[in-house]
Homo-oligomer: A and B are copies of this chain.
Amino acid sequence: MEASAPRRRTRIQQEKRDLILEAALEVFSARGFRGATIDQIAEAAGMSKPNLLYYFRSKEDIHETLMQRLLDTWLAPLRELDEIGDPLTELLGYIRRKLEMARDFPRESRLFANEILQGAPRIMPMLEGELKALVDEKAAIIERWMHAGKIARTNPYHLIFSIWATTQHYADFDVQVRAVLGPERSGDGRFEDAARFLEGLFMEGLRPKG
């Protein structure tokens, strides 16, 4: 007795689905939704195409599940921004966490970048709902910090955008960063250089005058 969609029961089924999602993350992030093929995902997951389609109804289904499962991870750094803490420390911490995500989860970053570049056809409701609500909440916190004189007065939304942009750049435009830095400066050290630079940029830019 089951509903139309087969419910995940066994641990084996759950593991297979996770395996497929991992493979799909690899392929989708590298080629985009339309550029990826089910065959490529199946091969990356070590199974045949019909077998993959036994666990997911369609390519769209894989993508949707992947997006939903990654969303929490992706927004976690911003969720941690805490009004109680020291404003500059909190913002620098957010920048650091975001940069670490660009370093440790570049595929997730590219997956979202791909989706948004194409006009976000599949996640627009999430952007206008969950994301907007979260940003509104945190922007209000930042604004209270500004009014309290803890950080320089500026536009909190564009501040958040600038943090997204500067950190995700190292994941989304990785090949360009590497090409410009050259082989000798493209080692792991580039993330530490980036962290130092961004700390300096935002620190001085956000420090209240006087």
Residues of A within 8 A of B (CB): 30-35, 110, 113-114, 116-120, 124, 127-128, 131-132, 135, 152, 154-155, 157-159, 161-162, 164-166, 168-170, 172-173, 175-177, 179-182, 185, 193-194, 196-198, 200-207
Contact = CB atoms under 8 A, between A and B. Distances in A.
A131 B181 CA distance: 11
Given A155-B196, A197-B154, A180 B132 contact: yes
Contacts of A114: 117
B176 A120 contact: yes
A196 B114 CA distance: 28
B30 A152 contact: no
Contacts of A152: 200, 204
Nearest to A32: B32
A135 B180 contact: yes
Given A30-B118, A110-B117, A204-B205, A131 B197 contact: no
Contacts of A172: 113, 116-117
Contact of A162 (B31, B32, B158, B197): B197
A120 B117 CA distance: 15
A185 B164 CA distance: 19
Nearest to A179: B127
Nearest to A177: B161
Q: Report, nearest first, the 9 A-B pairs whose CB atoms are least far apart.
A: A165-B169, A127-B179, A158-B197, A34-B35, A205-B205, A201-B205, A165-B165, A204-B205, A155-B197
